[in-house]
Amino acid sequence: MARISPLEVYKLLPGINCKKCGADTCMAFASQLIERKKKVEDCTVLFEEDKYKEKREKLIELLTPPIKEVVIGDGLKVGGEEVLYRHELTFFNPTALFIDISDDMSDEEIEERVRRINKFKIERVGQELKLDGIAIRCKTNDEVRFGEVVLKVVENSKMPIALCSFNPEIIEVGLGIAINRRPLIYAATRNNWKKFAELAKNYNCPLVVYEEDIEKMSDLVQDIEEYGVSDIILDFGTYPQGEPLARAIENMISARRAAIEDGFKPLGKPILGNATVAWLVESDPIKASHLESSLAASLMLNYADIIFMHTLETWAILPLLTLRQNIYTDPRVPIQVEPGLYAIGKPNESSPVLVTTNFALTYYTVASDVEAGKVDAYILVLDTEGLAVEPALAGAKFTASLVKEHLEKFKVDEKVNHKTIIIPGMAARLSGEIEDITGWRVLVGPIDSSRIPKFIEEKWKKNGKA
């Protein structure tokens, strides 16, 4: 399906430019709707007057993403995507990572896992990367034990949860305990779907449908939707390796294509992948965690909107969080930090002043290298509109006059008793011009910021201070 244009949306708006929605014109509001910066309801005129009923309904239909957005718990959104490729627009809802807990684990083990899942947090490029939920699996087929474990998790974590069993009676016990948490129910199959559909309707919960054949999946989803369930997630079955894994991934891609390119609604749902299957073929925890991490990465790259995992090893989860951050960063908006003069450690008036750009990855890399080297320094961050050093130089966003402007704006001369700055090695060609127009002496630093501490040790301490 072609992407919606602002003109298509505009034609369904009142066109009176009344500004009640906060936009200056209906056309501006149309663009904001497409960007999901506004909701249809923000145009109150559309809802106040009956004459707009038909336009309103058409507009809501037009703006509904081809992949339905499903909410788990009190606000975790999955799906809601509009494009196959990130660069065509952006992806909106990052893949949710749920860590499993089984009811055959001891109470101590469960408490420890819940504590670690709750606490898991990594900071990267100024953002906190976290896990998203807990998948509670019934392995004992014992309602009482499953109920105890659901209660333990609910009491010890506020994270969204999934209740996992193919037995609807077991799931109903969990739902009775977690009734206020709107858990994800896993999973309906062609054999049990009516009972699961009944539960999903009665408890108003999203439902996973498990079916390995894509055509049968489509039929099953239509039956369940006709039964009255609207929040559905697809699971084509994940295998740890070989042809069955290839088939599952092919189904995921085909489903996403059918929904986005052909507008085929039964498959326009979020997709679930289950990376815990790695533990079926690897008993060694290191090998299993490694396989699980690779498997989860493959699922994430092939449209999985939610992934169940077992490992809690930081080294296995970190690559996934990093991959997810890269895939789900809006390509239209570079991640930036505020321009300014930043203190790293405890700099004083004789400390070095390093210059860099406000592309977040550049800044945080330089800052963490300086910090790791135990160097007390100032970093002058230039407003290069979110570009890294090399593209900023190529696009004339990192210039000598910009350095002058920032030295003055952030009053660097009031912080230090010298007039020397260190510029990135890649910006060496600007050194003469910067000296000419600023009156500051320029040292050309290393190209690789990991060498800054050594550079400071060797060059600054000998030559930096006047």
Residues of this chain that interact with ligand SF4 (CB under 6 A) are: 13-14, 16-21, 23, 26, 29, 43, 45
Residue 64 CB, nearest approach to ligand SF4 (Å): 18
Looking at the Cβ atoms of 29 and 460, the one nearer to ligand SF4 is: 29
Minimum Å gap between C-beta 36 and ligand SF4 is 15
For the CB of residue 38, give the shortest distance to ligand SF4 in the complex, in Å: 9
> Which is nearest to 236 in space by CA: 210, 270, 216, 265?
210
Place of tokens 């085909």: 254
11 vs 201, beta carbon nearer ligand SF4: 11
Minimal distance, residue 43 CB to ligand SF4, in Å: 3
CB-wise, 29 or 308, nearer to ligand SF4? 29
Q: Nearest distance from residue 22's CB to ligand SF4, in Å?
A: 8
Q: Return the number of the residue (17 or 302) whose C-beta is nearest ligand SF4.
A: 17
Q: Environment class of residue 111 by beta-carbon count within 10 Å: exposed (0-12), middle (13-18) or buried (19+)?
A: middle
Which of 12, 377 has the CB closer to ligand SF4? 12
Nearer to ligand SF4, 23 or 134 (CB): 23
Q: Compare residues 16 and 437 and give the one whose CB is closer to ligand SF4.
A: 16
Which has the closest alpha carbon to 442: 423, 417, 461, 457?
423
Phi, then psi, of 175 in degrees rounded to 5: -65, -35
CA 27 to CA 156: how far, in whole Å?
A: 48
* CA 249 from centroid of its chain's CA atoms: 21
> Which CB atom, from 16 or from 447, has the smaller least distance to ligand SF4?
16
To ligand SF4, the closest distance from the beta carbon of 45 in angstroms equals: 4
Look up tokens 């925890």; give the residue. 285
Q: How far is the CB of 89 from ligand SF4 (least distance, A)?
A: 21
Q: What is the nearest approach in angstroms of ligand SF4 to the Cβ of residue 8?
A: 14
Closest approach of Cβ 14 to ligand SF4, in Å?
4
Beta carbon nearer to ligand SF4, 26 or 434: 26
Q: Are 384 and 392 in contact (CB under 8 A)?
A: yes
